[in-house]
Structure 1
Amino acid sequence: MKYYFSVILIIAAQTCFSESLYRVEKIAQCTRNNSHAYAINNSGVITGSCGNKIFIAKGADYDIFPSLLSSPLYGTLQPTAINDNGVIIGFHRYGAKTKAFKYIDGEFQELYIDSSAYGALDINNNNEIVGWLDKGGNHDSFISNGQSTVLKLSDISSHISAINDSSVSTGEVWLRNHDRQGNYRRAYILKSEELTLIPTLGGVNSWGEDINNNGVIVGSSETEDGAVQAFYYNDEEGTKPINIHDAKVSHATAINDNNEIVGWYKTFQRESYIFLYKNGEVNSLNRHFQEGIKPYLPHDINNEGVIVGVALEGRMHVPFVIYPNF
């Protein structure tokens, strides 16, 4: 066990929220490039990649896997999610092959699916795992809870990116465009094996990234004028844009059960920001980072509002954690 947090900056700021106070930390014990904090559960356990290995961190505790004895897996390991039971899922790459794994009770286990390439993208608190598998260059989707079931959601390509505790999921499907050449992709909601396409913000393509236990979906959609904009969707309101001043493009990446949404956007001046959408208001979080460290992508947010992701420090990709209102 190692102490891993290094405080970057503590700042009190007057924002569009009431006296929001944030503490930004980087996972300093991970010194390898291309490192990310990918997921955090509601107990505050964080998982991510440190080079080609996985780290698990909470408070002052830090472990990195695989050690020489801890894992039968090899290649580059990338975690994608952790649930409240502490089960981690993801995929590992070696050569031309990609295979999904789960880490449970201190052991790595490889999920078996009849494909040369497949990856796990999310897990709910019932230990249901969802993801994608290769089918000759395109993708099908799968769900696994002890046994894996392949779901053919499209005759072209699909994947499931997230699943909630009611087994409702979202992702994207590729569809044929009969009005013009080429195909298009759409965000969807999958409930009780019934797939429903989510309306776009007026454009052709959309992506579903995450779903919470209220059934709210977040992602990105093309608008009528061809721009890409973050959205949220629920049954009552339909698809609603997340409007960000001066944003040329925006993407929503994760949502918690308090309907707090994180994502990133790029301005017309080509500057990149990460944002938190809360109670109908958008707050840029860049100002809470120390000079020389540029936030790049938020991957996840838990129900306490703790955000994890990756930032740029020079040419290094470093994992970060943002703690609100401490």
Structure 2
Amino acid sequence: MLTKEIVYDLYRKFSKSGTSIVVVPYREIDEEAFNSECWDAFEWHRWLFQDTVKLPVIRDDLTKNFFVKRDDNLNKLSVVIKIPYEYHNQYADAIYELNNVVGQDGCCMLFVNNMIYSFASYLVIEDDYQNYEKIKAAIEKYQLEIDMTQTLDSLYSQLYSRAYNTINFTSNCSKDQILLQMTAVYAYKDKDELARSGYYVSEADKPNVFISYSHNDKIIVKDVKDRIVMCGLNVWFDENCIAVGKHIVNEFMDGITKSDYAIIFASKSTVSSVYSKAEIQNLFVKVLNNEIKLFIVKLDDVDMNSIFPNLKNYKYYDFYQEHNIDKLVMSIVDFVKKK
């Protein structure tokens, strides 16, 4: 019979002195229920666990683990790395190397959001500062993108609403084991795997969508961009489409020429952005020639006419009033796919 004493012993067994999150496998709590796949029984175990350790405990039936966020004030290096959902298998080597770099008192966890319109995944590294240079070298080697908008705490808090699933890679994981665990936590295959299975969508078959924005609005715009890409749109975005050494104006003119649709993110920052206003001016030339369709998003209380003459006479999506990113993404996708 499971008792508080047994639960506390398990908690101590799986606690590392230096990690914020403690992961306890279902099998260790109740092997009989685990083998019989009686997952509902683990809700009572979760309650007992939580009552014993006096900390919130999250139950995850997908990975068959309990997660406990310690309330210690740990002085640790914590890095959140963006793993593109649609190409996640390509990052197995990077995850394997980073997992080997992390010390015994650190952790390497993958958080995956499998919700429609919100597909995303992040690798969280937590370790002693003495490993900083090794972690930095691995990040640079694989050209990984550090995401400053997410933290371990913010991702962990979303486990409560089941927005994310997570796996904790053990220190002795082989690359094959990492790939196997990634297959379990990602609900959808990546693009390369779909292509090998015969489910391939040519980029040429997708509508080309040009995104015009001020870099001061980059955080919200990039979030929208990532979501509409996951919905099947082919997007021109300066950060991804202008290589080092290329002429910026020539490149965005080429992007406009090749696009069927454009999304203009309008804000007070747009008023003072030379490149944004130049893009909008060129987009309206194409609009007058019926060569492109516009979807305009108002991000704040900017006077639309201060960006471009008579801009407020064009129908726009008022994100400043709605402020619902899921609804915005659906509106953009519906607009483009209606053709």
TM-score if structure 1 supplies the norm length? Answer: 0.26
The structure with the greater share of residues assigned to strand is 1
Q: Which of structures 1 and 2 has the bigger CA Rg?
A: 2
TM-score if structure 2 supplies the norm length? Answer: 0.25
